[in-house]
Structure 1
Amino acid sequence: MAPSRSDSPLLFDLPVLPDFSLEAGLMRDGLAPVAGLDEVGRGPLAGPVVAAAVVLDPERVPQGLDDSKRLSAAAREGLFRIVAETALSVSVASLSAASIDGTDIRKASLEAMRRALDGLALPPAFALADGRDVPPGLACPCRAIVKGDRRSASIAAASIVAKVVRDRMMARAGAQAPQYGFDSHVGYATKQHRAAIAAHGALPRLHRMSFAPLRPAGASAR
């Protein structure tokens, strides 16, 4: 007897995308609106850390939202426009390289998320934040979700907004200092970027001087 075949894909073959189920559950408990929080730019040697807060319209949740790292630049730009057009509220905040050097990247990332949430025109009743930490000082209760940008549509939307905004900021920096190639590596420690630093030195207002290999020999990391 020939083995049977199915035209239904196996569960582990199905693409897993974030959805609105976490938000819907909170809303059923009377916690509405719900904001998603995420940040971009913890790892680069240069540029700001950028955070976004997004309150999606439950009736107009965009299709195709995902962790910004899993999307092409063109897909991010398209979804950025859709989120901007359909979300109930969007806010972006950033902390500069100098601010990062004055504290540490973890604290700066959490502070950027706090500022982004505080900037929403529609105050949320609850927030969902990507990562392990709840940003301190939020104006509403919050739940931290590991890999939240792959689970929550609101966090994924915030991830996309933060990524697009930061990439645009770094493209502008690249236009001002083309010898560093910021428009291509957006500040990450690529071979091209390291070679540019070796050839031209660091830009104190843009490079994170507390990050290896930029911090002085013998200085401790924050």
Structure 2
Amino acid sequence: MIDGQLRVVLAEDSVILRDGMVELLGSRGCRVVATAGTAPELVASVDEHRPDVAVVDIRMPPTHTDEGIRAAVEIRARTPEVGILVFSQHNETVWASRLLADGAAGVGYLLKERVARTDEFVEALHRVADGGTALDPEVVTGLMRGGRRGRVETLTAREREVLELMAQGRSNRAIAASLVVSERAVEKHVAAVFLKFGLRATDTDNRRVKAVLAYLAESTG
């Protein structure tokens, strides 16, 4: 990030949508350092500019199948310091699993039709660039259904809801608002998740991250 501006490489094969997003992000304090209409252009742009985050669509030319997400997996392997935010109308659980195979830090996956506010999208960009996670609830649900359960099966329905929201990068306060419960109730559910996952407090307590990673590992395994 330079001068407080988030540096973004934007991959989108629709010229109209791409130009609109460049203008939108520019008005929200982000700097689009390069745009790409194909997967090879995306990889080359990330190699050249080393942005804070790359915004990637799944289906890009020439076949419009999975070129974009394949490029995202390649970028994550080659330049893990670059955040990846998949922004697509397609919920591809198999490729989401591949993208999250090495951990959820610095990864996001949002569905276009479910992003209701520009602020929500920009906030997700910053979260991913800072090493956080931003996953649409439908993506999380798809990952859960597609994988084995393990420790997740020991959770109550409410504990699982709380963990899903944690995996989306939400704070206890945001989780409480989403579930219409008290923040204290959320804290109790989070503590129960830590206990059932065998995560004890340490001097450098990052149990929240470990719980999310364990959850995603079981959901994508």
Query: TM-score of the superposition, structure 1-length normalised?
Result: 0.26
As a proportion of its length, which structure holds more helix? 2
* Greater radius of gyration (CA): 1
Higher RCO, 1 vs 2 (CA within 8 Å, ≥6 residues apart): 1
